[in-house]
Chains A and B, each alone.
Chain A
Amino acid sequence: MKKITKIVGVILLFAAITSPSIAQAQLLKGGYFNVDWQFNIPIGNDYANRGSGWGMNFEGGYYIIPQMSLGLYVSYHTNNKYIGEQVLHLSSTESLYADQQHSIYQVPFGMAARWRFIEYGMFEPYIAVKLGAMYARMESETQVYTYYDKSWGFNVQPELGMTFYPMPSKRIGMHLAIYYNYSTNKSKVLTYNIDGYNNIGFHLGLSF
């Protein structure tokens, strides 16, 4: 909880520092640009399913009609999990005894479509769908060796969020969104398999 408080503090500080310089106008007229801290929990596998805040999300879009925007997104995230000593049966004759640090690093990116329910208000709730590709690195660190598998897959990410503009005319605001993220990547490390990456999480950041 302390960590989250610190991160929120940093975001607010960043807002305070940058506001005077960019509050004159939004970065992209008729659009938006989000910079978010991200909290992510992998679900559907127990390889590295500990939630973490080691990630960021970047997204920009342009409103082609007042309610709907099209844009681009990219985010990255790491989830780690310690696994105590155990014997892994790598094959019918091979055994490996080690403790491990599991790690999943995910970088989804692609196109984002957003529909906002209120235009130019103090609160702008929206729904969004993101479609694209994802790079993933599944990793197991032991004392001596690092085992890893890199993979690519298709990515889809529905999102429900809201931007809060304290002064709607300035178009700099706070952004909060929850998301579900699915990718088709398949990875295998040692005796562990992941067939499809599923995540839930939230974004918290700034919108320009």
Chain B
Amino acid sequence: MKKVIPILLLAATFAACQKEPDLNELSSELIVYTNYDKSANFGKYTTYAIPDSILLLDDKAKPSYFAADDPRTTAIIQAINSEMKTRGYVRTNNAEADLGLQVSYVKDTNTIISYASTNPYWWYGYDYYWPGSYWNPYWGGWGPSYAYPITYTYTIGSLIVEIVALEDANATTKKIPVLWTAYMAGIQSSNQFNINKTVSGIYQAFEQSPYILSSVER
């Protein structure tokens, strides 16, 4: 029996196995992922439209929003406007805009994850994800089309910003091309929405996307 004791000690030691890295050492900045349609010519567009509210993605049957007067909305829209202006784009209304910017905040992932795990184009099953009719009342039943797959699992507390080419919407296929996707994760700290981190994330998303540039600024 005495001989078994050290062997048991060994087994216990071996079970300790992998030493996890210290995650506290990681900064609190957002993770920012961007992707774009390589065939897009961002230089040919000059105007854009952006809603004054932010769509909340959750498991509710009807869409809900951060309202226009919500400080979170104000800060996010201001940051995006600032970047678009710097890159030579002029804000206008939906009817006249070449580009549309749709901003969504992932509040709950119950619905989204189930689509993301089996089909990267999860929004086809996500009923109210930026319908074509938002941009144009005659575009009922129209939807986005992506030149690249979205394979990330969107987690609670992340922001998705997309640029769609309203000018290139296709009446035959009823598709609106999505030119750019920015995904920012880690916005929530202790279940609180962190506005400063979110704004920093938006600036970072544009910084790592220098190709978003109107011909005016080229």
Q: Do A and B bind each other?
A: yes
Which residues of A approach B to under 8 Å, CB–CB? Answer: 14, 18, 21-22, 27, 35, 52, 54, 56, 58, 74, 76, 78, 80, 82, 84-85, 87, 92-103, 105, 137, 141-145, 208
Given known contacts A96-B32, A96-B33, A142-B31, is B18 in contact with A18 (CB within 8 Å)?
Answer: no
Q: Which residues of B contact A35 (CB under 8 A)?
A: 6, 10, 13
Q: What are the interface flags for B123-163 relative to A under an 8 Å C-beta threshold, 1 for contact and 0 otherwise?
A: 00000000000000000000000001000000100100000
The answer on a CB contact under 8 Å between B2 and A21 is: yes
The answer on a CB contact under 8 Å between A85 and B208 is: no
The answer on a CB contact under 8 Å between A22 and B19 is: no
**Bound state CA distance, A99 and B6, in angstroms?**
41
**Cβ of B94 under 8 Å from chain A:** no
Enumerate 8 A-B pairs (CB-CB under 8 Å) in ascending A order: A18-B9, A35-B13, A56-B13, A94-B33, A96-B33, A103-B18, A141-B26, A143-B23
Dominant secondary structure of chain B at its interface with chain A:
loop
Q: Which residues of B contact A100 (CB under 8 A)?
A: 26
Q: Which residues of B contact A105 (CB under 8 A)?
A: 17-18
Q: Which residues of A contact B158 (CB under 8 A)?
A: 144
The answer on a CB contact under 8 Å between A144 and B14 is: no
Q: Which residues of A contact B20 (CB under 8 A)?
A: 103
Q: Which residues of B contact A82 (CB under 8 A)?
A: 21, 25-26
Chain B nearest CB, measured from A176 CB (Å): 19
Question: Within the complex, which residue of A14, A74, A101, A102 is in contact with B22, where a contact is CB–CB below 8 Å?
Answer: A101
The answer on a CB contact under 8 Å between B27 and A76 is: no
Given known contacts A35-B10, A94-B34, A144-B185, is B18 in contact with A85 (CB within 8 Å)?
Answer: no
The answer on a CB contact under 8 Å between B31 and A95 is: no
The answer on a CB contact under 8 Å between A52 and B26 is: no
**Range class of the B interface residue count:** 35 or more
Question: Within the complex, which residue of A76, A87, A103, A137 is in contact with B208, where a contact is CB–CB below 8 Å?
Answer: A87
**Cβ of B35 under 8 Å from chain A:** yes
Dominant secondary structure of chain A at its interface with chain B:
strand
The answer on a CB contact under 8 Å between A85 and B148 is: no
Give the A-B pair count, Cβ closer than 8 A: 102
The answer on a CB contact under 8 Å between A21 and B5 is: yes
The answer on a CB contact under 8 Å between A208 and B6 is: yes
**Bound state CA distance, A142 and B204, in angstroms?**
17
**Bound state CA distance, A145 and B152, in angstroms?**
10
**Bound state CA distance, A98 and B152, in angstroms?**
15
The answer on a CB contact under 8 Å between A94 and B31 is: no
Question: Within the complex, which residue of B3, B18, B31, B204 is in contact with A22, where a contact is CB–CB below 8 Å?
Answer: B3
**Cβ of B111 under 8 Å from chain A:** no
The answer on a CB contact under 8 Å between B34 and A85 is: no
The answer on a CB contact under 8 Å between B23 and A97 is: no
Q: Which residues of B contact A80 (CB under 8 A)?
A: 19, 21-22
Question: Within the complex, which residue of A18, A76, A103 is in contact with B21, where a contact is CB–CB below 8 Å?
Answer: A103
Question: Within the complex, which residue of A76, A95, A98, A101 is in contact with B17, where a contact is CB–CB below 8 Å?
Answer: A76
**Cβ of B60 under 8 Å from chain A:** no
Q: Which residues of B contact A94 (CB under 8 A)?
A: 33-35, 148
**Bound state CA distance, A84 and B26, in angstroms?**
8
The answer on a CB contact under 8 Å between B27 and A99 is: yes
**Cβ of B196 under 8 Å from chain A:** no
**Cβ of B209 under 8 Å from chain A:** yes
The answer on a CB contact under 8 Å between A97 and B204 is: yes
The answer on a CB contact under 8 Å between A101 and B32 is: no
Q: Which residues of A contact B31 (CB under 8 A)?
A: 96-98, 142-145
**Bound state CA distance, A99 and B25, in angstroms?**
10
The answer on a CB contact under 8 Å between A144 and B27 is: no
